[in-house]
C-alpha cells in the first residue's frame, strides 16, 4: 500500500469512528476531505492541554481546580469509549497534545488515528478484550506491556491516563515522572513536586491523586485500577467539590438532555424542522376542525336561531 493510500484510509477510519460517537468530552467532527488527508473539527480556542501545561504564548496557567476537572472529564470519556456493548474502543495515543480545550476549558479528546475496536465475547469484561498490533503512539505515554507484547487493551489507556494525571499534578515532562513522584512520596516530600503555578493544592487530594496515578502506571495491566469502579469514584467527588457538574451520571439509568452546544448543528436544524412540522400539523388540524364545524353549522342553518351564528362569529 502506498503512503497516499494509507493516509486516505486513516482519514476514512477516523471519520467512521467519530461519526458514530457522541459525548460532551469527545471532539466534534464537522467535515472531512479524504483527498487532502484533512479532517475538520470544531474550533477550540484554548489549544491543547500540552500548550496550557507549558503556558505556551504566555497563556495563564491552569488552576488546580481546572486540572481536577480535566482529569475527571478525561476519565468520563474513556469509560464511555471502553464501555460499548458490542466492542470497546481503545484510544491508543492518549497524551496532553491530543486533549484539546474549548473556551471554557472543557476537555475534548481528539486524534483517533490509531484507535482500535476491541471485540469481546458476551459476558466477558471490557478490560479482557485484546487487540494484537504493532506498537504505535508516543513512547513516554505507552503501556510497557503493550510495548513488550503488542497486546493493546483498555488498560493501555489507563496507563497513559496515569501519566497525564501525574503531569497535571506536577507539570513535569513524562519521561521518568513515575519514579520521581514515587521517590518524593516515599520521602514525604510530594509538595516539592506539585506545580506551584496551579495555586495552593489541597495536599490530601493531591496525595490521593498521586497514589491513584501511580496505580494506573503499574507495569502489569492486571494491577491497574478499573476506571469506573475505582478511578471515577475518586475523581467524581473531587470534581464536584471544585464546582464541576456532570452532564452524565455514570452507572445511572437516567438520561439527561445535553446543552445545545453539544449537539451537531445539523441535528439542531433537524430538530427545528421537526418542531416546525409539529406546529404546522396543529394548525392544520385546527383548520380541519373549523371546516367541520362550518359544515355542521351549514346543515343546521335553517333550523337554528339566528343569535347562535352571531355568537360564534
Active site residues: 93
What cell does 217 get? 502506571
Rounded distance between C-alpha atoms, residue 75 and residue 85, angstroms: 18
445539523: which residue's cell?
266
H/E stretch holding 88 reads strand 87-90
Which residue, 259, 268, 234, is CA-closest to 104? 259
Please enumerate in sequence order all residues whose Cβ is within 8 A of that of 82, keeping only pairs 6 or more positions apart, or say none. Answer: 88, 89, 90, 126, 127, 154, 157, 227
Reference 21, options 268, 226, 274, 264; nearest CA is 264
DSSP summary character for residue 122: T
How is residue 176 written as a grid cell? 521518568
Helix (H, G, I), strand (E, B) or coil at 123: coil
- Report which of 47, 58, 62 is spatially closest to residue 98, judged by C-alpha positions: 47
User: Which DSSP letter does residue 128 get?
Assistant: G
> Which phi and psi angles does 210 have, rounded to 5°?
-65, -45
Rounded-to-5 percentages of helix, strand, coil across the chain: 55, 10, 35
Backbone angles phi, psi at 229, to 5 degrees: -80, -20
Phi, psi of 211 (to 5 degrees): -65, -40
Burial of 248 (0-12, 13-18, 19+ CB in 10 A): middle
Amino acid at each position: 500500500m502506498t503512503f497516499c493510500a494509507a493516509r486516505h484510509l486513516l482519514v476514512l477510519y477516523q471519520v467512521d469512528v467519530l461519526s458514530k460517537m457522541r459525548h460532551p468530552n469527545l471532539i466534534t467532527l464537522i467535515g472531512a476531505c479524504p483527498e487532502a488527508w484533512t479532517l475538520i473539527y470544531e474550533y477550540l480556542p484554548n489549544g491543547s492541554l500540552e500548550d496550557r501545561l507549558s503556558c505556551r504564548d504566555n497563556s495563564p496557567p491552569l488552576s488546580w481546580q481546572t486540572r481536577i476537572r480535566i482529569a475527571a472529564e478525561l476519565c468520563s470519556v474513556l469509560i464511555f469509549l471502553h464501555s460499548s456493548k458490542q466492542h470497546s474502543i481503545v484510544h491508543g495515543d492518549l497524551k496532553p497534545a491530543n486533549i484539546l480545550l474549548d473556551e471554557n476549558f472543557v476537555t475534548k479528546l481528539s486524534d483517533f488515528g490509531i484507535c482500535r475496536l476491541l471485540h469481546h465475547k458476551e459476558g466477558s469484561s471490557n478490560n479482557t478484550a485484546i487487540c494484537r498490533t504493532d506498537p504505535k503512539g508516543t513512547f513516554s505515554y505507552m503501556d510497557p506491556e503493550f510495548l513488550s507484547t503488542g497486546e493493546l487493551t483498555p488498560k493501555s489507556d489507563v496507563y497513559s491516563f496515569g501519566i497525564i494525571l501525574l503531569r497535571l499534578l506536577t507539570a513535569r515532562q513524562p519521561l521518568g515522572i513515575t519514579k520521581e513522584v514515587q521517590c518524593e512520596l516515599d520521602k514525604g516530600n510530594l509538595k516539592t513536586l506539585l506545580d506551584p503555578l496551579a495555586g495552593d493544592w489541597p495536599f490530601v487530594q493531591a496525595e490521593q491523586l498521586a497514589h491513584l496515578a501511580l496505580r494506573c502506571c503499574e507495569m502489569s495491566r492486571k494491577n491497574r485500577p478499573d476506571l469506573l469502579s475505582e478511578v471515577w469514584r475518586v475523581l467524581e467527588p473531587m470534581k464536584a467539590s471544585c464546582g464541576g457538574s456532570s452532564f452524565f451520571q455514570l452507572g445511572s439509568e437516567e438520561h439527561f438532555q445535553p446543552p445545545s452546544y453539544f449537539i451537531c448543528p445539523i441535528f439542531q436544524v433537524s430538530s427545528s424542522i421537526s418542531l416546525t412540522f409539529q406546529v404546522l400539523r396543529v394548525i392544520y388540524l385546527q383548520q380541519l376542525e373549523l371546516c367541520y364545524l362550518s359544515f355542521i353549522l351549514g346543515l343546521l342553518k335553517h333550523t337554528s336561531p339566528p343569535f347562535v351564528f352571531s355568537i360564534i362569529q
